[in-house]
Each structure stands twice: as C-alpha cells, then as structure tokens.
Chains A and B, each alone.
Chain A
Amino acid sequence: MSITIEEVEHVARLARLELKADETEALAADLSKILDYVAALAELDTQGASPLSHLAVTQLPQRADVVVAPLERATALEEAPRASDGAFAVPQFVEEG
C-alpha cells in the first residue's frame, strides 16, 4: 500500500498538524510500510467475531450522588497560554455583524 504525499497532507489537515515538507515525505514512506505490514489482518477468518472496542469492567461503579466543588475558574486559567475576561483567549473565529 503506497501512501501519496497528497494523502499525507489530507490526513495532516484532519489531524490539525502542520508538517514541514521533509516530514510529509518521511511520513509517506513510514505509513506506507506500516500499512503494508498491518494488511496481514485481512487474511484473518473473523466469522463469528464481533468488533471489540473496549474491555468491559466486570462491575461498573456508581459514585455517590453528591455535589463536589468543581475546579475554580482562576485555577483552570492559571496555565492558559492566553486568557482574558475569565476565559481562554483564541483568535477571532466568527465574523461579526
């Protein structure tokens, strides 16, 4: 399975990763090789099997229904790269008007 540069760029957009040109090229080669390897799963006889997405915990816990204090707003914002008006600040992403 050969992954093209265009496919790498498409997946990088989905993953919100800005890649340099040399990274894109290396990823195309690495992903092609890894996908060749994992293609072996196609030969498996999976009749009767159901997809396993997670391992069930034998007894799901229920916590007591009591109110606990949430994280303080100021504490949550302490490590924010940029904050203003008691909120995380980001570039404007909705046009006004």
Chain B
Amino acid sequence: MISARDLAERVRSGASAEHAAAAALDSIGEQAGLGAFLHVDRERALASARAIDQRRAKGEPLGALAGVPVAIKDLLATRDAPTTCASKMLTKDGRLETGWRPPYDATVIERLRAADAILIGKTNLDEFAMGSSNENSAFYPVKNPWDEARAPGGSSGGSAASVAAGLSWLALGTDTGGSIRQPAAFCGVVGMKPSHGRVSRYGLVAFASSLDVIGPFANDVADAALLFDVIAGPDPRDSTCSSEDSAECLAALPHGDVVRGLRVGIPREYFQAGLDPAVEVAVRRAADRLASAGNTLVPLSLPHTQYGVATYYLLATAEASSNLARFDGVRFGLRVEAPGADLAQLYAQSRGQGFGAEVKRRIMLGTYALSAGYYDAYYKRAQLARALILEDFRAAFEEVDVLLTPVAPTPAFRLGEKTDDPLTMYLADVYTLPASLAGLPAISLPCGMTAPERGTPALPIGCQLIAGAMQERTLFRAAYTLERLLADLELPSCPARERSRLHHFDAEGFGG
C-alpha cells in the first residue's frame, strides 16, 4: 500500500483525489461489519475530493495532505457531520441518525481542511472516550480487523481499525490514558500521543482536561509525523495550547538512515508480573535491535509506576464528573422531560437515560472522589501521587533520551472478556497511564506478532517509546529508527487491509 506521503505527492502532481476517496469509501462500505465508522457521507467526501482535483487543474498549489482520506474520531466537532461521542446523550432521540450537529469545526479539523485532506468519516469509540475495548459505544462495538472475535482496543478503536483494515490512509484519535496507543498496538498500526499542550483541543469534547490529547494513527512512523505536523502548533482559541512552534517532525526524520547514540531507558517496572511472555520477548528484541545499531540501553526504575492506575482513575473521573456536567438536556442533545418534571428532574432524567453504564460509573466515582469528606483522601491524594509519577520521569530523562516499554500487558483480548469487571479493564492500562499523567509524548508501533494458535490467528504486538515533554522530534526520530531496525521481520499487514481497495491502489489505480 502506498504511503499517505506518496498519495499526497501524486495528487499534487495530477493524480485524482476523487479516485482515492472513492476507493476509501468503497472499502468502508465493504468492511461495514467491523463497526469502525459511525457516520460516512459519501457524496460530501467525493465533492470535497473533486474540489481538490479542480483546484489542481487550475494550477493552484495543494496542501500537505492533498487528497488523503483521513478518518476522524467522533469526539471531534465537525460542522458538516454529526458528532455523537458514541453516546445517546448527543442525539435527539437515542438514535445515531439524530446526532448533534456542532456549529463549528475543531481546530484540528480546520487544519486538515486547510491541508486539503478528505474527511472520510467519523469513527466509532467508547462512549465519551471512556473505555479500553470499544465495547462501550452506545451504538455498536468495533471488531478487531485481525480477529473479529477480539477487541480493537479503545477508546479510539474505530480510528485504529480504519487504518489497520485499509479503510483510510490516516486517522485522528484522542488519548487520555492510552486511547491512541493501546488500540494502535491491538490493531498493528502506529499511534502517537503528543505532549500535553502540543495540539489545540478547541472543538474536542472534553473528558479529562489535564490529560486529553489529539493525535495521529498511520501505517508507518513517517505518515504519523506528516499528520502530526499538520495538527500541532499554537491556537489562540485554546489557552492550554503551548505557543511554542510545532516541531516539524517529518523533516527531522533520518530519512533512509537510523539514529545512533540514543540513550534508551528500559524501566524495570514495565517488565514485571502480568506481562504476557510473547509481548516481553518482542519488546526486548526491539531493545536489542536499538542497542546493536549503536544506541545505549539504560536499565532504570520508575518507582511509582504501580500507582498509575489508581491515580489516573481518580483524577480522570473527577475531571470527567465536572466536564460532563454540560450534558444537561438543555442546550443540545437528548432531553427527557416527563410531564410535570422540574428542572432538576429534567437534568437527572436526561442524564440517566442519555449516558451508558461506564460513563455513569465514572461520573459517580469522580463525584464521590470530589465530594465533601472524601476530597483529601482521594482526589488530593491522587494529585500528590501524580506529582511523584512526574518526578520519576523527570529524573529518568536526566539520564536517557527515550524510554522503551510495552504498550499493553497482552495482545488484543476477546470481546466480552473484561466487560464484567471494570477494574480488570482499568488494570490493562497500566503501561500507558503514567506518560499521560506526566503529559509526555509517546508512540506505539508494531514490533512483533504472536504465534498463531488453534482458533486464533497471529495477533500484532506493539511497543511504546516515551520522550520528554515537548520532545516530539526526538520521539519520532527514535521511532523511525526502531521501525527501520525491525523492517527485516517483515511484519504482516492485516489480512483485511490486503483485501482493501487502498492496498491495491497504485499509480494506474488513480491516474484517471
């Protein structure tokens, strides 16, 4: 399959963006059973591709993503497509067809349009991004394209599945505690979480504001850098977005070469009990490859890692309980108004019927942690633990340039396997939560496959690189290096992708 970079270059040189969009739309239709998308507007997507072809024909210059179909997690506001957050709360009557129509575009969406990308559809997710398996979508779950009995990960499972199955070249996701990195690992694609403050969140429906970040999914590290470069950078409409210029990561990659002399930290807490042996072998092999290429492995300790899950699930739910107060049935979305109900009943009934079980659980946990008498024991305690976790990383990055770890303790688990016990689901986030709490950039990239077993095909395994705050350039350079050093493994692409129209797309395919 050609890269998004190549596709954009070919569209700039006269290839048809409409053909590329049509191929993506056809593949989305053929793979509708995956449940990856919540909303696709074929005619609108084709019209925007035709407009790009017309501008090219007139000799106008085209942007960095010229004609590239990009899938959008349905947590981002798009003015010409419904935005539901996979929740009944953002519909008029509980049906997907009556989704909320935002009056504006998120900043990242404006930037995609300005770069001449094709917004190919809105992807499925765990309701309000709360979940690690995509089973919390109010409409339908997403299936893992490698094995449809398994979860694609979450919460950005639709975006990860879209790229893995060859339904779009690129996708946007959001990551609060691992929601880009874990589904990328489960689906065998690259997923990157930028630093806190690197990408504007204007138009992102907030879950936990001190943690939420928007980032790219792609087939390779360079394509992820391409999309990151388009969305990153200052935005006057988001006061939490840094005014530092974005890092221009694609240009900084060691194209065709590798970086040597990196100090790569291997934190021992990420390789302890609970880690699947196949995952450990694959991640350690990645470490060995880096070492053989002239980089230095540094064993180290991040002693507060084990407190990440407790810290995260107190802070994220506390913030969610506040952020989700805006869904009150008054200004948009679902309103349940029984005859004679007063305003407080209207709120409680709308929220009680609009939110799903996991969202209610988190609002309840967060409200409890913030409530009188419990604030010091839970919320403040978690804020202190967060400071200790941040300090672990600060000390580590005095000695190393990047950290290499697993993304998740296991490959993709089965749908339904963890739904009975929310705590078991939360514990599977152990390796992604600390970088979120510390606001650090991190990337998940494929590093191996499990051995196929009876009834189970080989499944992808991901590894995670973490860099210091705002060090995206270092992160992408290290990830590009590792990807090259693992190229001889010839990791397979997803069988669903090999069948997709994007996979068979070549110069003739869209020459017109």
Contacts and interface: CB of A to CB of B under 8 A. Distances in A.
Contacts of A26: 357
A31 B371 CA distance: 14
Given A16-B348, A16-B351, A63-B236, A51 B313 contact: no
A23 B103 contact: no
Interface stretch (B185-193, B264-272, B383-391, B409-417): B383-391
Interface in B335-373: 335, 337, 341-349, 351-353, 355, 357, 360-361, 363-365, 367-368, 371
A11 B382 contact: no
A40 B310 contact: yes
B58 interface: no
B422 A34 contact: yes
Contacts of A51: 380, 383-384, 386-387
A52 B210 CA distance: 10
A49 B365 contact: no
Of the listed residues B310, B330, B333, B345, the one surrounded by the most CB atoms of chain A closer than 10 A to its CB is B310
Contacts, number: 185
A21 interface: no
Contacts of B292: none
* Number of chain A interface residues as a range: 35 or more
Contacts of A23: 357, 360
Interface in A1-22: 3, 7-8, 11-20
Contact of B101 (A61, A78, A90): A78
B380 A91 contact: no
A14 B322 CA distance: 11
B242 interface: yes
Nearest to A45: B388
Contact of B92 (A42, A76, A81): A81
B234 interface: yes
Interface in A41-77: 41-42, 44, 46, 49-55, 57-64, 71, 75-76
A54 B386 CA distance: 10
B239 interface: yes
A41 B308 CA distance: 10
B360 A19 contact: yes
Contacts of B458: none
Contacts of A79: 100-101, 103, 331-333
B177 to A, nearest CB: 14
Interface string B465-488: 000011000000000000000000
B331 A37 contact: no
Of the listed residues A8, A35, A38, the one surrounded by the most CB atoms of chain B closer than 10 A to its CB is A38
Contact of B365 (A34, A71, A76): A34
Contacts of A58: 197, 242, 244, 469-470
A1 B463 CA distance: 36
B440 to A, nearest CB: 9
Contacts of B104: 71
A78 B509 CA distance: 43
Contacts of B357: 23, 26
Nearest to A43: B307
A18 B368 contact: no
Of the listed residues A15, A42, A64, the one surrounded by the most CB atoms of chain B closer than 10 A to its CB is A15
A18 B384 contact: no
A8 B371 CA distance: 12
Of the listed residues A57, A59, A63, the one surrounded by the most CB atoms of chain B closer than 10 A to its CB is A57
B385 A44 contact: yes
B87 to A, nearest CB: 14
Given A15-B351, A58-B242, A88-B330, 10 more contacts: A17-B352, A34-B422, A41-B311, A41-B314, A44-B385, A53-B210, A57-B243, A79-B103, A81-B329, A91-B346
For the complex of A and B, list the 8 residue pairs with the smallest distance between their C-beta atoms, beginning with the closest.
A63-B236, A18-B352, A51-B383, A81-B335, A61-B243, A55-B439, A38-B310, A18-B348
